Amino acid sequence: MMELAPMVLAADDATAGVRDLLATISLAGGLFFMFVGAVGVVRLPDAYQRIHAASKCTTLGLAGMLIAAILHVWTLDIAGKAIMAIVFTFVASPIGSHLLAKAAHHCKIEQWPGTLSDELAQDKADPNCSVSDDEIGVPEGPQRLVAQDSGPVHVGAA
């Protein structure tokens, strides 16, 4: 059976050293952003700042690492997959972090006392603004689902 070789982007030995150098720089930059994000998640004082550190730094860190992979491997299929992953990350990460921060605000998670402003609370207080996350679709009353304890669960043969 005939095996298909991966389609290598046009390259010669003269550019391999430059590509490896750029891949190393890109990988170091990606690792730097990942490290800063991890330190931020551990060291920052409240949930909102931790969400910010996790989303911004990991987005840039992943982009740096995937660019390094493109430069190092230098095949068309890897480049296409890495570029799609970068685009997806740059779209999905800000949306996810925004939703997490909005859910934290809705649950009234305390902000750090040094926070200068709370724009979402100001927008909610403004009667001319139509911002509201008070109704998120959780049913009230008798139709609301409540977890019930059904007793101990027995696993195995009786």
Question: Across the 158 residues of the chain, what is the mean pLDDT of every consecutive 10-residue run?
Answer: 62 80 97 96 92 93 97 93 97 94 85 77 71 54 51 56
Supply the range of the domain harboring residue 40: 16-108
What's the pLDDT tens digit per position in 103-142? Answer: 888 888 888 788 777 777 776 777 776 666 555 554 455 5
- The number of domains in the chain is 1
In a domain, 53, yes or no: yes
DSSP tally for the chain: helices H, then strands E: 4, 0
Using CB atoms within 10 A of its CB, is residue 1 exposed (0-12), middle (13-18) or buried (19+)?
Answer: exposed
pTM: 0.70
In a domain, 149, yes or no: no
